């Protein structure tokens, strides 16, 4: 066992002495030591209940003959950090999570790891660590929040509150009505209830084969979630015994399945950043153009919020991720021989899964669209790519041409939107918000929600070198690469320039000549880096572009 390095032989008596100081017995020390990576804290609703999940995981480990050893890592709430300086730290926290898990696992010689994430950056950060460490590894999330129905009969989620703010600022909603959404949209623990980033990544853990079925969809408050956590704790001992490691699972076939399921579910655009970063750690080639190839042949089967009115509890009751995969298998769209933590191939794992509600998971014969939920756009504005959640874009906005309204920060754009300065037909451009220029590539849920709340989401597009929350809907195009701070074309857009968007043909272009662009590159100066300090300053100097996953580079 790997843990023999800290517990076997007379020369390890000091190490055993320290373990006994904690209270471990000789019998416990002899067993496989299983690290339980818990992201519990008391500020993130998706994580506030993870002590219960951890207890259930540890019960499973004990029942299967292992010794659980819990340690923690950080977790940032994207919703609470939204719209202010705190959002600079959200994406950047992903690298800290991966690094901290690596430090703890390498220093203490665990035989296997159970990862307990829940929300946005924590899932990919832990997946990056799992790939980097290549130990027997398995994931179990805290589960999604429930969605309640409003007094108007509409399902609510966090996005309902953001859009209510937009309606209030436009004078279309009274303060007491805004308070109603504030009090009722987020009813309890769990990751926010739509197909936002957290739930996207937890569902994709199933598609990758590194989590048990139901990981992404079983609601946080259901007893089934605790039973699954116990089963996960039991299963890690089998993975240790069989020496099935993370990279036995996280290979090219697994990522192909993940991208395919991503398209069918209509996941958050952030999944493109995170899958790229995880693939980088796993040594799997990644190319944004490949995403469009997969999207072109993968039907979009689900319209969960923000694309539609369904939420995670609906997907769970309809059969979950494995039911979606079984439907995709009818068109031969999956790599069925991909490995899973069950110890069998994916084709065997999904056998027996079926769709229980065709209104939530549409048949492959009658999908929402013949193409996937995400599209990668290229063109003169984004030579290296940009990402849009196509399934959440109104049909009338799939193609759009309009004048650029240019802002060099999210705050400037929000102020203009709230002041009523954005009108139908405009293309809002928010730049210098990329991984390096932001720094931290902030999510733009506040401006997109304000646009939607004001009723302009079917008339106004928004493009940025920043990124969007999974809760964003409308013609919101992010991850524009290269970013403005690195001299990308978006830095040279001027107020009033015509911007052309053609999502069906994967294009985003600035309608000026090459000669004019060359002149602007000569005459216009890229803005100097923002004044930042501490970790985020180091991050800004080392982070890659969005098309590479915004990973830290050593050179």
- Catalytic amino acids? 469
The answer to whether 287 is a known ligand-binding residue is no
b (16+ CB within 10 A) / e for 123-150: bbbbbbbbbbbebbbbbbbbbbbbbbee
Residue 362 CA to residue 358 CA, distance in Å, equals: 5
At 500, give phi and psi (nearest 5°).
Answer: -110, 125
The answer to whether 509 is a known ligand-binding residue is no
The answer to whether 111 is a known ligand-binding residue is no
C-alpha distances out from residue 426 to 285, 371, 469, Å: 37, 27, 21
CA atoms within 13 A on the CB side of 227: 7
Report residue 473 as tokens. 């809907």
Report residue 66 as tokens. 């292992």
* E strands in 281-392: 375-377, 385-388
Asked if 334 contacts 393 with a C-beta cutoff of 8 angstroms, the reply is no
Question: Given strand 375-377, what is the order of strands in its sheet?
Answer: 375-377, 385-388, 476-481, 461-464, 427-430, 399-407, 498-502, 507-510
Query: Which among 95, 46, 50, 44 is positioned nearest to 72, based on CA atoms?
Result: 50
Query: Which among 95, 28, 96, 38 is positioned nearest to 66, based on CA atoms?
Result: 28
What 3-state class would DSSP assign to 72? strand
| 67 DSSP β-pair partners | 33
Q: How many other CB atoms are found less than 10 A from the CB of residue 30?
A: 15
Asked if 429 contacts 491 with a C-beta cutoff of 8 angstroms, the reply is no
The answer to whether 411 is a known ligand-binding residue is no
Which residues fall in the annotated binding site for Mg(2+)?
Answer: 78, 120-121, 443
Which residues fall in the annotated binding site?
Answer: 78, 120-121, 443
């Amino acid at each position: 066992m790997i843990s023999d390095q800290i517990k076997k032989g007379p020369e390890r008596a000091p190490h055993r002495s320290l373990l006994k100081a904690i209270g471990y017995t000789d019998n416990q020390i002899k067993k496989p030591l299983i690290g339980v990576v818990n992201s519990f804290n008391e500020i993130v609703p998706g994580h506030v209940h993870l002590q219960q999940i951890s207890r259930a995981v540890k019960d499973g480990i004990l029942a299967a003959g292992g010794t659980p050893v819990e340690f923690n890592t950080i977790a940032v709430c994207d919703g609470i950090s939204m719209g202010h300086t705190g959002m600079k730290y959200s994406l950047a926290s992903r690298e800290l999570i991966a690094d901290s898990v690596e430090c703890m696992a390498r220093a203490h010689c665990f035989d296997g790891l159970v990862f307990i994430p829940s929300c946005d950056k924590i899932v990919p950060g832990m997946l990056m660590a799992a790939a980097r460490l290549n130990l027997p590894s398995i994931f179990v999330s805290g589960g999604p929040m429930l969605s309640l129905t409003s007094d108007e009969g509409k399902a609510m989620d966090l996005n309902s509150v953001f859009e209510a703010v937009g309606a209030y600022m436009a004078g279309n909603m009274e303060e007491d009505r805004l308070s109603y959404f504030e009090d009722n949209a987020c009813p309890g623990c769990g990751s926010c209830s739509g197909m936002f980033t957290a739930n996207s990544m937890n569902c994709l853990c199933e598609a990758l084969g590194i989590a048990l079925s139901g990981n992404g969809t079983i609601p946080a408050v259901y007893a089934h979630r605790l039973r699954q956590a116990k089963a996960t704790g039991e299963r890690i001992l089998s993975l240790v015994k069989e020496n099935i490691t993370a990279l036995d699972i996280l290979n090219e076939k697994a990522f192909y399945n993940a991208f395919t399921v991503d398209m069918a579910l209509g996941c958050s655009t952030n999944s493109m950043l995170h899958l790229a970063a995880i693939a980088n750690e796993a040594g799997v080639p990644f190319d944004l153009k490949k995403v469009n190839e997969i999207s072109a042949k993968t039907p979009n089967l689900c319209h969960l919020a923000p694309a539609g009115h369904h939420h995670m509890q609906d997907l769970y009751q309809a059969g979950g991720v494995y039911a979606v995969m079984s439907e995709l298998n009818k068109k031969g769209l999956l790599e069925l021989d991909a490995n899973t933590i069950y110890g069998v191939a994916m084709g065997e794992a999904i056998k027996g899964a079926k769709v229980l509600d065709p209104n939530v998971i549409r048949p492959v014969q009658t999908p929402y669209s013949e193409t996937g939920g995400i599209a990668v756009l290229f063109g003169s504005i984004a030579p290296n790519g940009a990402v849009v959640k196509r399934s959440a874009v109104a049909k009338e906005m799939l193609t759009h041409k309009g004048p650029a309204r240019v802002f060099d920060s999210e705050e400037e754009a929000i102020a203009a939107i709230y002041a009523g300065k954005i009108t139908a037909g405009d293309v809002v451009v928010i730049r210098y918000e990329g991984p390096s220029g932001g720094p931290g590539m902030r999510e733009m849920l506040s401006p997109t929600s304000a646009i939607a709340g004001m009723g302009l989401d079917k008339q106004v597009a928004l493009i940025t070198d920043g990124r969007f929350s999974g809760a964003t809907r409308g013609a919101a195009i992010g991850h524009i690469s290269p970013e403005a701070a690195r001299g990308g074309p978006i830095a040279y857009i001027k107020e009033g320039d015509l911007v052309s968007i053609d999502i069906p043909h994967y294009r985003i272009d600035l309608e000026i000549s090459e000669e004019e662009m060359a002149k602007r590159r000569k005459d216009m100066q890229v803005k100097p880096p923002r004044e930042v300090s501490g970790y985020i300053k180091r991050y800004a100097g080392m982070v890659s572009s969005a098309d590479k996953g915004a990973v830290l580079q050593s050179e």
